[in-house]
Amino acid sequence: MTTSRELGRRGEEVAAHYLERAGYHVLETNWRCPEGEADIIAVDREAGDLVVVEVKTRRGHAAGHPFAAVTPDKLTRLRRLAVVWKSTHAVAQRGLRIDVVGVTVWPDGSEIIEHLEGVAP
């Protein structure tokens, strides 16, 4: 049995690979600053947007769907992190948005990946 931390890391790795295959360029993972941590910072190559991605990983849905853990307070913090990241890095993206990737790992080891784009501008 994996720990919650190991499960979270697995979810972030799965999400990063998924995003790369979906046309994103992952710039950083687990970026930290005094305001908190962003799981993934990426560029949506098609839209040209800078994207802060929150990854939520669950073992099944007994504790609820992964997206249910993204509260309004969490979105406010992610917006703040996005602004801080952009202000400390030289980027020329058109827009800035928040996405959420939910990863559900089932008992048989299979994974379901769901991606919500633009949950917060």
pLDDT at 121: 61
Among 59, 71, 67, smallest CA distance to 100 is for 67
pTM of the model: 0.91
Residue-wise DSSP of 12-27:
HHHHHHHHHHTTEEEE
Residue matched to tokens 């305001």: 35
- Our count of domains for the chain comes to 1
Alpha-carbon distance of 108 to 92, in angstroms, equals 43
Show the domain range for 31: 4-120
pLDDT by residue for the chain (121 residues), tens only, comes to: 578 889 889 999 999 999 999 999 999 999 999 989 999 999 999 989 999 999 999 988 777 899 999 999 999 999 999 989 988 888 776 789 999 999 999 888 899 999 999 987 6
Stretch (H or E) spanning 84: helix 72-88
Closest CA to 82 of 71, 97, 68, 70: 97
CATH number of domain containing 70: 3.40.1350.10
